[in-house]
Copies of this chain bind each other. A is one copy, B any other.
Amino acid sequence: MKCTRCRTRAAVEVPRANAAFCGDCFTESYVRNLVTRAIRHDRMFGPDARVLVAVSGGKDSLALWDLLLDLGYQADGLYLGLGIGGYSTRSHVVCQEFADARGAKLVTVDVADRAGFTIPQAAATKRRPACAICGLSKRHLFNAAAKEGGYDVVATGHNLDDEVAVLLGNVLRWETGYLARQSPVLESTHPSLVKKVKPLYRVAERETAAYCVLKGIDYVVEECPLVEGNTQMKYKGLLDTLESQSPGTKHNFLFGFLEKGRAHFPPDGVVLNECVECGSATPSDTCAFCRSKTVIGVAIGSRPRDWAPAGS
């Protein structure tokens, strides 16, 4: 098979685009164009923006950081220590080594320092599923770190498959509020919120993996040990089956939603207040992160370092 672009020997087949590419055309043209198109089409950020890239050590977030650096953006990395044993240790090492090799800056924040619990400790309390408390903590701490560091935007490595799996879950449960908010760009709707963007949302998961392999980026292949049996992983498996039967199904599902479906789900116009404990945006008095800190702190018998009773 020959490269669709330069006619040399192809290294990667892309059935959904009915194309194949050699290594250079795949990384420097195909994937890079998908990312630049996302950044421009969705007005994610301008050339002078300070971008904080949330990196986990996995293929997606390191591919994203690599792409943004190659494209000349001021992109620092943010690594969140989740406290998931050897998995977290290895992930941190991989992120630090990538940063060192590229001469880039990696900011590290430990969930335990900020929340008073590690993710496994929180999961063990069985108050919420591990992935729910992890996602909630990440969103809060990514935002806090971006705000503290004066960044213009937080970029996450969510790829096409991630977005499609979330969309399928939202549709299967008809979560109309989530459908209204599902977007590759979440603008800041409150002074405490930093804009969030997903520049990889047009790139398929197997394409970010191929990107890392071709660019020689060392990434953590193992999945988080707490993710097993996770519903999103099940949806991804089903969507993979559909995609292999009809290439383009995932793309058409997501872009059909963005272009035709989403307009049917108007924003719910929730009024955001400042959390009485941390000042971050919340539809309640206390944000979900601060509520979790308290509840889980009590359950595990420890208190976060900055813990204090509400209103004190």
Mask, A166-202, CB within 8 Å of B = 1, is 0000011110100000000000000000000000000
Q: Are A252 and B176 in contact (CB under 8 A)?
A: no
What is the predominant secondary structure among interface residues of chain A facing chain B? helix
Tell me if A234 counts as interface (CB < 8 A to partner B): yes
Which of B173, B242, B260 is in CB contact (< 8 Å) with A238? B242
A96 to chain B, nearest CB (A): 38
Copies of this protein chain in the complex: 2
The residues of B that contact A43 with a CB separation of less than 8 Å are none
Tell me if A245 counts as interface (CB < 8 A to partner B): yes
* Docked complex Cα distance between A260 and B265 (Å): 11
Q: Are A264 and B172 in contact (CB under 8 A)?
A: no
A81 to chain B, nearest CB (A): 32
Which of B172, B234, B245, B256 is in CB contact (< 8 Å) with A174? B256
The residues of B that contact A249 with a CB separation of less than 8 Å are 172
Mask, A217-261, CB within 8 Å of B = 1, is 000000000000001001000100110011001001100110111
| B-contacting residues, A252-307, CB 8 Å | 252-253, 256-257, 259-261, 264-265
* Docked complex Cα distance between A176 and B257 (Å): 10
The residues of B that contact A241 with a CB separation of less than 8 Å are 238
The residues of B that contact A264 with a CB separation of less than 8 Å are 176, 264-265
Which of B172, B176, B231, B253 is in CB contact (< 8 Å) with A260? B176
Smallest Cβ-Cβ distance to A245: which chain B residue: B234
Which of B171, B173, B231 is in CB contact (< 8 Å) with A171? B171
| B-contacting residues, A43-93, CB 8 Å | none
The residues of B that contact A245 with a CB separation of less than 8 Å are 234
Q: Are B242 and A173 in contact (CB under 8 A)?
A: no
* Docked complex Cα distance between A171 and B167 (Å): 10
A44 to chain B, nearest CB (A): 23
Q: Are B234 and A172 in contact (CB under 8 A)?
A: no
Q: Are A174 and B257 in contact (CB under 8 A)?
A: yes
A9 to chain B, nearest CB (A): 33
The residues of B that contact A238 with a CB separation of less than 8 Å are 238, 241-242
The residues of B that contact A171 with a CB separation of less than 8 Å are 171, 253, 261
The residues of B that contact A261 with a CB separation of less than 8 Å are 171, 174, 176
Most chain B CB neighbours (cut-off 10 Å) among A172, A234, A246, A252: A172
| Given A238-B242, A241-B238, A245-B234, residue A172 in contact with residue B265 (CB < 8 A) | no
The 5 closest A-B pairs by CB, nearest first: A174-B256, A174-B261, A264-B264, A174-B260, A238-B238
Supply 18 A–B pairs (Cβ within 8 Å), ascending by A.
Answer: A171-B171, A171-B253, A172-B252, A172-B253, A172-B256, A173-B253, A173-B256, A174-B253, A174-B257, A174-B259, A174-B260, A174-B261, A176-B260, A176-B264, A234-B242, A234-B245, A238-B241, A264-B264
